[in-house]
Structure 1
Amino acid sequence: MSKPQDAPKLLMPKATAVWLIDNTALEFDQIADFTGLHVIEVQALADEEVGRGIVGRDPVKNNEVAADELEKAKADTSYRMKVLRSRTDLPSVKVRAKGPKYTPVSKRSDKPDAIAWILKNHPEISDAQITKLVGTTKPTIQSVRDRTHPQSSTLKPRHPAELGLCTYQEIEKASEKGLRAQGKDPAQVKAEREAQQNAKHEEAAASENSKEGIFSGFDFSAFMSNMGGKKE
């Protein structure tokens, strides 16, 4: 790994690292090299062991890196981004960097629940896809998978779209992509899953009706009358 750049330096390296972690799938060493932080510190920020209150800072919007530099780094894990020296280095037209929406600080604690939901309901979605959908890291996904995550004892699988981390359409597209990669027909798998869910709902409804039937055949007034007769 190349040494962190000495000059020019970022105004808020940790906030920039948080943004890159939440909005891209860059390697930790790429982020460390660009921000000047140690790779271990970047991983700690990603795992939320430190810096939980830090709000991410977009380096493209804040004129610290060109959008095409970020795209190059996304495409090549060995590429090292260069910090812009001044505003004169900016391209004439600003291009919004691709990637998932920024995750508010208040929602970051929901990420493990979202990861758990995807792993349970859509095992075909790859870790790389999950990092983009939820704005997380592969080590965090693995820790949720093998139940070594600090929140493992309190995890409640919840749909990431309901948590505001991504959209239902994004989950659908990621699922279809994962299934195709496995050589499966997305439409067929979706139909099978819906059939299984419907069967579970019908079974639950039948069980509830059965319980109601037991009590509906019970004559409470007659029971009380008999009880009164026994006392006399």
Structure 2
Amino acid sequence: MAQQLLMPKATAVWLVDNTALSFEQIATFCKLHPLEVKAIADGESAQGIKGLDPIATGQLSRDEIARAEANPAHKLKLSDPKVRVPESKRKGPRYTPVSKRQDRPNAILWLVRNHPELKDAQISRLVGTTKSTIEQIRDRTHWNSANLAPMDPVTLGLCSQIDLDLEVERASKGRPLPTAAELGATLESAQETEKLPYSTDREDEQEINADAVFAKLKSLKSSTPDEDEDDKF
């Protein structure tokens, strides 16, 4: 883990007030812009910030500051820390709160059924379980197999959707594409469709009988005068 300067702007305020270092040297050490350091020196910036002594915090030595003051081209270097804190690394399965541990078998069953491509190590990372438990649930030898119901681990709060998608994507890499039979395809091939007979019969269409149409029109015309005479009386 790379060592970082504590409170860069407060350190820059102290260096401006207590040393003869150039703006460029202070800016490089504190990872600031030289104009920002100049603004601190002019009182235009960081007015409410109290300077932090890097010597007191053990991040700079007086000798290092003296060398930089004597040589404007010298770049300040952080002092080696006296105590090194080891970087924490999470090992083993993910921690699961006590209130949600009873839901883990249901989540494992859901993952086994819906994502069979996931490896045991991936399931263990997602829900925080052991490989033996996963094998028991997969083989239906778990002591509570009869009462288990598949439940989404994201809904249960055992993992995030991003973590689940990431593990599924990792497991899917390098796998062959599913065949038509696996996808349940029912489309017939072009050769099979070409062999089907073409029917020219049109059962739904009926020929129009002209005589019937004219006979109906005559009956309508003959009924119209009678109705007009009835209206007069």
Measured against the shorter chain, the TM-score band is: 0.3 to 0.5
Per residue, is there more helix in 1 or in 2? 1
Larger Rg: 2
- TM-score, length basis structure 1: 0.38
TM-score, normalised relative to structure 2: 0.38
